[in-house]
Amino acid sequence: MNRFEGKVALITGGARGQGRCHAENLAREGADIVICDICQQIDSVPYKLADKDDLIKTKKIVEAQGRNCLAVQADVRNFQQMQELANTAVSECGKIDILVSNAGIASASLLSEMSEQMWRDMIDTDLTGGFNIIRAVLPHMIQRQYGRIAVIASQLGLTGGKTQGHYAAAKHGLIGMVETVAIENAENGITINAICPTTVDTAMVHNDSLYKAFGAEPPTYENALKAFPKPNAIPVPWIEPQEVSNLLMFLVSDEARYITGADYRIDAGSLASAVSKRFSM
């Protein structure tokens, strides 16, 4: 199946995790890939971020699918870098058909104790980073009157979460932006949708800070296996990146050409479970 033969997909945060999985899957179905990643540490992030070796590994994985891959070190917090990335993608690949706004970070703190830097790092990366890449890519898509955009939000874009006030604020903002971009570009042949996963099995969650935030004490992998399923109706601790890629590939395909401005939960029933618990006797 080659739903994306002849297409070019740009993916932020593509060095590992969900971004790598999306790149591999889109390439497997025929797309050439452009990926970017910051490849350096952000001080308030409590785990090791991807590095240049990770970015190169993703590039090799894509190329092993027989597709071209342009890999660029770039920071979504910087609009100029995103604009340069979009322009380079167009000049070297000819166009941008698909954008996956995926770059994001995680950290944990009660809002009453959160540092200003932790708040800023989250909003700058997870929310403004999404704006920067969408703003950079939209003119190219508008000119061609075609585009498919998927934004990786979160179930916390639809609710709140203890120690996750900054993350929830950023993801709520993304969903509002998705709806606005959909309205503004419906006549331009461009669709945009948000994907709202529960916890995904990536390096972003496998660290002491996030383990503690979910109640794993002491913060070990074995205790996380027990603590993480609690919010989910389906009793799994997390979902695999492939589950998110499966939904994403539908939303950026022409099979979904009339779907825009929507948010799709892939949350193992966690939000439904939360509502049920509020009204249970």
**Cα–Cα–Cα angle for 249, 37, 194, nearest 5°?**
35
Q: Is 153 helix (H, G, I), strand (E, B) or coil?
A: coil
Catalytic pick among 47, 146, 167, 221: 167
Number of CB atoms found within 10 A of residue 144's CB = 15
In 32-70, which positions are buried (b, 16+ CB within 10 angstroms) versus exposed (e)? Answer: bbbbbbbbeebebbbbebbbeebbebbbebbeebebebb
Cα radius of gyration (the chain): 18
C-alpha–C-alpha distance, residues 102 and 111, integer Å: 24
Q: Is 7 helix (H, G, I), strand (E, B) or coil?
A: coil
C-alpha–C-alpha distance, residues 150 and 19, integer Å: 12
> Is 167 a known active-site residue?
yes
The residues carrying an active-site annotation are: 167
